Amino acid sequence: MDKKMIMGAMMLLMIISLVFAIWGVQMHSKVVTEEAKFHAAQAEYFSLDKVTRESAATGSELTQDLVEIVNYPSALMELKLLGVGKILTGIYVLLFGILIALVMMPVRLGDIIKNKK
């Protein structure tokens, strides 16, 4: 393998790892804004008296708000877990690139020593 091809593969691995890490961090940063929306929706819904909430007709806007509030925690958990997963994937890809470089070093060093003799 020539040197340029190896360096290109290493750069590609580094770029892929950075993309995954940045993607994961962005997902984690969305959690803060989504939690704020969730708390605002909760406050708005529960500010109404209990009789009004319970007497809401099926399919009404108030019932849809309740469904949204009930589903929000799973969406937040998805953002958190997928964010961590993508960050870890980026770290794994970068470590894999380092492993490849460490495995190739003795081979390259052997070639250099052979050429000097």
Contact 17, 91 (CB under 8 A): yes
Give the model confidence (pLDDT) of 87-106 as tens digits: 999 999 999 989 988 888 88
**20-50: buried (b, 16+ CB within 10 Å) or exposed (e) per residue?**
bbebbeebbeebeeeeeebeeeeeeeeeeee
User: What is the pLDDT at residue 105?
Assistant: 84
Helix axes 61-116 and 3-46, enclosed angle (nearest 10): 160
Tell me the pLDDT band of 1, cut-offs 50, 70 and 90.
low
Tell me the pLDDT band of 84, cut-offs 50, 70 and 90.
very high
